[in-house]
Structure 1
Amino acid sequence: MNNAYLHFKEESLSLKGQFPELNLGQTEDGIPTFEGKLILSDEKSNPIDSYEIRIVCSIDYPQSFPFVFETKNRIPINIDWHVHTDGHACLCTWPEEVIYCHKGITLESFLSEHVIPYFFNQKYREMHGFFLQERAHGKLGTMDFFKEKFRTSNLKLIINWLEFIKSNPEPSRTNECFCGSGEKFRKCHRSEFREFKILPVETIINFIQYIKLSNPIFKN
């Protein structure tokens, strides 16, 4: 059996006490799942709602997110509801997933940091007609991630800074930041440098190429 599947099964079994309404299962193809009722609780651990879900292990878990499905047709299969056409949840942008997975995820952290907040957001939309926090979809959402992360809307600068991170060691904490702001590195983009520097060089190159291919300003 795929090592990812074995790992996922072991983690699912270890979470039974923490998520008693979710159970280890499998798809018709034998891919392990963690499925059942996900309880949403308030700050005092009082249940406020629940969703029937199915989490399907990805082939290279934990290098990528498992796939999350809401199984009772409560949430429309519509990208405006952050649901892909095949029914699995859109939890975050592609580069965010890459960074989260590289830092290391477990099924427990995936549930607490991504799945539960996602369904709380769905609950909020059901109640109020809009999401409490929402980013654009697809390429626009990915560009928004980079702009928010580097605190600029200038994609050419973002590419330059990613190139710098890819090719250079970490600057001294008292150096001026590589972004040109005049601020000390430790007070400016140090956390962003460290977050991207731990990624494989190939991943940073992929980010740069994605930005270039997704924006007409780089066509010529």
Structure 2
Amino acid sequence: MNNRINTNLAYKLSNHELDSYYLNNRASAVPKIPYEIPYEWRKEELERKERKRRIEERKIAIRMRSIYRVIGIERAKSIVSILAMVLIIAGLFTFIMVRHSQIVEQNFSNTRLANEVNQLNAANSDNYEELLTGIDLKDIEQQAYQMYGLRKPAQSQRIHMTLPEIDRVVRYNNDGTEIDLESDETTITFDANQIEMYMKKLRLQE
């Protein structure tokens, strides 16, 4: 009841103020409107602006994240490309170095084998020369006469032919003179160096 009375009194006071306002200002007067926005409206407006600001910030953050993601992907691609290029170059360099080491090792092996072959050839040449030096043709001839019944050929059985110098095996006496193959001298020295010189001449002519 008291609330209703207070409300009626407030309404009457407000009407009285309006009537006095219109009386003082006549027809050109306008009602007095308060310029301050109520607190509830102002709060809603602030909340709306805050929501709008948050939405804009969220959009900007999403856009920045997408930009950072694209930049990160491009950077990762660049790093992967550089690493792949470095690995390829390192692989090629390693392959070249391995092949070079294999070639050098093979060259050393070939050189070692060539030296061994030369040593074997020198040893064979020495053995061959020693073998030829130890051969006594007169002794062989005497053994052929005694053991196998070899007979000296008659004069009619001998064939005389002229041989070129490179096809002759020259035998010398102890005094260095060339022996006559038809003579019966027993002091004959067979010189293996003459055979070696003969083979060298053949190689030079080839």
Same fold (TM over 0.5): no
Query: Which structure carries more helix by proportion?
Result: 2
TM-score by length of 1: 0.17
TM-score by length of 2: 0.17
**Structure of larger gyration radius:** 2
